[in-house]
Amino acid sequence: MGTVTHLECLACGARSEPDGHDGACVVCGGIRDVFYDLDAAREALTRDALAANPDRTVLRYAPLLPIDPEGRVTPLAVGSSPIYDSPRAAAAVGVGRLLVKDDGSLPTGSFKDRASYVGVARALAAGADVVAAASTGNAATSVAGLGASVGLPIHIFVPATAPEGKVAQLLTYGARVFLIEADYDATYDFCQEAVAKFGWYNRSAAVNPYLVEGKKTCGHEIAEQLLDDLPDWVAMSVGDGCSIAGTHKGLAEMHAIGLIDRVPKMLGVQAAGAAPLTKAFDAGAESVERMVANTFADSINVGMPRNPTKALRAVRASGGRYVNATDDRIRAWIPKLARNTGVFGEPAAVTAIAGVEEAVAAGIIGPDESVLVVVSGNGLKDVRSAMSAVDVPKPIPPKLSEVERRLEAEA
Ligand SMILES: *Cc1c(COP(=O)(O)O)cnc(C)c1O
Ligand SMILES: [Zn+2]
């Protein structure tokens, strides 16, 4: 098990022991960060030791995770998502090298499985009866799927407007689903009320500090998979900010223990219609102002980011930037990413590469630089958005003349 030395509140600095309180700072209600015995991790996670470890799940990074590898975890294969090198996507976006890490290939189809892995393990260790989550969709489907794998009851609060694919996953996995007649920001607040009233285990990555610890494994993997061949930039779409903060922390840890010799710059990409973090970053601020969120990229349709401190600090510490991508640009990249790489991402997942294009146009990323984009969710989760980005052919009778006509028309 990773040796957690202590936790520290990002808001008031209060130190706390790793005491099984999986919530916010008891002094001020702020979000806490988790610290480890890095010397022990340095000894355990050498390049040789990692290469010799046959476990492909995120448990291979157990010395940097707040869970007991001997304890109960989901049997689902969370971890080791592939990285593809795509010269055609690099040319399409205008950079020297483009790498795609496909987290849509994780068990429930999104990056969120990394956090839920740790959340479910900790909930089991704590003997929790119910795990609750507020979500735009993927955090919910993830904890529903991983919960189902170990028989843990899951209660979910999502906006009633969540894409059908995600709601279908939730209901199929057997979670108790509350479809809330409100946007994500209000749904989140309501879920916190319910958690306080009913005493459920809270899967919110902005309250429970251990969830971001799971998200770190994306950074651990990028470091281990690329070693001396790291990209200049890692680009990720950002809603609440937990994912980019976690990925950066994973990279920084791997740097701290000597596995890699530098940390890439982080490019945080927000949808132009939901971009309070870009605004705060550009203003040099530490906190965000709530805005009315309006983007079709539902997973990042967040007007009140819940983890602004971690999200802003991570990008600043890396020497990176925040940029915005318009909905039109995001929509265009659904087929463009798929056609150049074979990786089908949901709108929030292709937002990362749409933002790279934006950053190249703005001169933030140079034409010779290398970029890794994290594709954070599978395109099949939101088929309606994908269909809005492609030309749908008219049905034809099964006649060769019809095929010939089409081939000629499109020659
Ligand atoms: C949750 C999510 C994000 C953003 O993660 P945050 O921690 O909210 O910033 C991006 N893409 C997808 C597909 C997601 O589900
Ligand atoms: Zn505090």
Would 246 be classed as within a structural domain? yes
pLDDT at residue 21, rounded to an integer: 87
Q: What is the C-alpha to C-alpha distance for residues 134 and 121, in angstroms, rounded to an integer?
A: 18
Ligand 1 atom index nearest CA of 138: 15
Give the C-alpha distances (Å, rounded to integers) separating 283 from 32, 280, 301, 352. 24, 5, 21, 22
The ranges of the chain with pLDDT < 50 are none
| Structural domain range at position 296 | 83-106+211-388
What's the one-letter identity of residue 210?
Y
User: What is the rounded average pLDDT for all residues in the chain?
Assistant: 96
Q: Does the predicted TM-score (pTM) go above 0.95? A: yes
CATH number of the domain encompassing residue 101: 3.40.50.1100
Q: Furthest-apart CA pair in the chain: how many Å? A: 75
Would 47 be classed as within a structural domain? no
Query: Distance of alpha carbon 264 from its chain centroid, rounded?
Result: 17
Residue 233 near residue 201, CB atoms below 8 Å: no
Ligand 2 centroid from CA 31, angstroms: 7
Q: What is the C-alpha to C-alpha distance for residues 188 and 184, in angstroms, rounded to an integer?
A: 6
Ligand 2 centroid from CA 26, angstroms: 7
Neighbours of 345 (CB within 10 A): 32
Would 190 be classed as within a structural domain? no
> Which of 135, 136, 138, 350 has most ligand 1 atoms within 8 Å of CB, for mutation?
138
Q: By C-alpha distance, which of 212, 183, 219, 190 is closest to 79?
A: 219
Would 73 be classed as within a structural domain? no
Would 166 be classed as within a structural domain? no
The sheet that has 4-9: what strands, in order across it? 15-16, 4-9, 32-36
Specify the number of domains making up the chain: 1
Strands 4-9 and 15-16: antiparallel
Ligand 1 atom index nearest CA of 103: 13
Would 384 be classed as within a structural domain? yes
pLDDT at residue 1, rounded to an integer: 55
Residue 221 near residue 251, CB atoms below 8 Å: no
Residue 4: which H helix or E strand, with range?
A: strand 4-9
Angle at 364 between CA 91 and CA 297, to 5 degrees: 75
Would 239 be classed as within a structural domain? yes
Please give all residues whose beta carbon lies within 6 A of any atom in ligand 1, as ranges: 110-112, 138, 237-244, 299-300, 346, 348-349, 376-377
Ligand 2 centroid from CA 311, angstroms: 17
Q: What is the C-alpha to C-alpha distance for residues 398 and 401, in angstroms, rounded to an integer?
A: 9
pLDDT at residue 205, rounded to an integer: 82
Q: By C-alpha distance, which of 146, 237, 134, 223 is closest to 186?
A: 134
Would 220 be classed as within a structural domain? yes
Ligand 1 centroid from CA 183, angstroms: 16
Q: By C-alpha distance, which of 177, 138, 179 is closest to 345?
A: 138
Neighbours of 228 (CB within 10 A): 8
Rg of the chain, C-alpha, whole Å: 21
